[in-house]
Chain A
Amino acid sequence: MGKDGAKTEKSGLKLGRADKTQEVLMLLPMAIGFALFVLYPILWVIRWAWFNYDGYTTSIFIGFENFIRAFSRDPAFWRSLGNTMYIAVIKLLIEIPLAMILASFLNGKIRGRTVFRVSYFLPSVLSVAVVGLIFSIMFSSYNGIINALLRSLGFIRKNINFLGRRDNAFFVIILVSLWTSFGLNMIYFIMGYQNIPKELYECASIDGANVVQQFIHITVPMVAPVLQLVIMLSFLGTLRMTDLILVLTNGAPGGTTEVVMTYIFKYFFQYGEAMTRTQFGYASALAVITAIILAVITLIYLRMSRKMKEIQG
């Protein structure tokens, strides 16, 4: 690695001579890797979306059949897509304000702020599968600690079936995904806040603006570029959520908490009930549809939020 680093520097210095060849040579290893491990899989998925293929028998070209099936005969897929959006939007509405407020508290002079920062960040370090396991133990309806605590405090009489009912399960899913990511987003915002010049706040407080006004009129516009990025990363991250759902509810009860990635996953890896054989073709078609929808959402968001990026500039 040390060698690699030195090489980079050196080729950077010599760029004067054979600029273009050197550029190509520098990029080549990455380009090959990119073509093999990113581009090829995408093309692979796009290709098999037009076939009826289970991985063993010969594949049959069926044209638009997979897409027609998805659009006309598969309400479960659209329900899972709806669930994904629902989770992502609710999570975003809670998470972003929470992270921003926490960050503004912990950016100031507060006793023990390092302790708070580290503790809030801690959940982001754990692997998602472990997190899912921890929470499914805690929220277990028969002997989970959350039920036991709520009962002993007198809030409930009977155990709540947290993961077995749709609304409760959504509550848990959103809670858990919030738990895993609010600390990280808080750190992003703290980094954003530190770039805001202190003089702005001084001027504002001389003019008589209180803390809340300062937050709305200085902090929020000044971190707008960070905000734009964090919203996008958080939203896309939630839309791609797979393993948490698989561990936590696995789509139970009856597939009502399925999100789009787990739904595709099940067709692809022959996982879950009622899957007798893998359906690579159909799963690929679903993946293509999802990818297009996500891409459109991202592009619309980037276009709409373009203003946010300019505010600071």
Chain B
Amino acid sequence: MSKTIHIVLRVLLYLFLLIMLVFALFPVVYILLSSFKTNSEILVGGTRIIPETWRFENYAEAWNLANFGTLTMNSVFYTFFIVLGCIAAGTVSGYVFSRGKSLFAKIMYRLVLFSMFISIGTLALYPQLRIASVVGLTGSLWGPILIRVLGMNATQVFIATGDVDQIPRELDEAARIDG
């Protein structure tokens, strides 16, 4: 008896997981397959998910028309330097916030903490642009990178601070003794 209940529960569990799977993947699959459709097929609509005629030229067109190569390169460039920069900035400031005893470090920590609760949203873009143009960063890829890296992402600073907190201080002392 209890075995049948067990099997029924298992089936229900998988059913639930599968429903969520469809929920999560359907839009992605739908848009992926639609990317091979012709314009008229998309406009007509209907329930067909798989395209009637596979039109691979869509991709070539998009690549050429939208100058996709350059755009992709730019994205990769941004991601690479922002991630690198954030790791460097995050760990350095996390270390200082965790171990630092100077007044400066304490004040900075409070300010970053405070900035996490203030969200002015998109309005920050305009003054940021003004500053960037004063410093002469506009029009190049480095502007957004610097803003993101130096702009002290509060979340990442706190994760880094928490991590450094977990490293035992004795390790530091041992390292110091070793020179």
Contact = CB atoms under 8 A, between A and B. Distances in A.
B87 to A, nearest CB: 8
Given A24-B102, A42-B120, A122-B28, A37 B17 contact: no
Contact of A38 (B23, B42, B152): B152
Nearest to B93: A30
Interface string B142-159: 000011011110000000
A226 interface: no
B11 interface: no
B47 interface: yes
Contacts of A295: 117-118
A36 interface: yes
Interface residues of A, number: 77
Interface string B90-116: 011101100111101100100110010
Contacts of A63: none
Contacts, number: 201
Contact of B108 (A31, A106, A239, A294): A31
B97 to A, nearest CB: 8
Nearest to B164: A12
Nearest to B80: A1
A176 B165 CA distance: 37
Interface in A266-298: 268-269, 280, 283-284, 287-288, 290-291, 294-295, 298
Given A13-B175, A32-B150, A38 B27 contact: no
Contacts of A38: 115, 124, 151-152
A299 B117 contact: yes
Contacts of B49: 145
A122 B25 contact: yes
A57 interface: no
Given A15-B176, A34-B150, A142-B45, A40 B108 contact: no
A19 B102 contact: yes
B152 A34 contact: yes
A148 interface: yes
In the complex, which range does the number of interface residues on chain B fall in? Answer: 35 or more
Contacts of A76: none
A207 interface: no
Interface of B: 13, 16-17, 20-21, 23-25, 27-28, 30-31, 34, 42-47, 49, 84-85, 87-89, 91-93, 95-96, 99-102, 104-105, 108, 111-112, 115, 117-124, 126-128, 131, 146-147, 149-152, 172, 175-176, 179
Interface of A: 1, 4-5, 8, 12-16, 19-20, 23-24, 26-27, 29-34, 36-42, 44-45, 102, 105-106, 110, 115-116, 119-120, 122-123, 126, 131, 134-135, 137-138, 140, 142-145, 147-149, 152, 179, 183, 236, 239-240, 242, 261, 264-265, 268-269, 280, 283-284, 287-288, 290-291, 294-295, 298-299
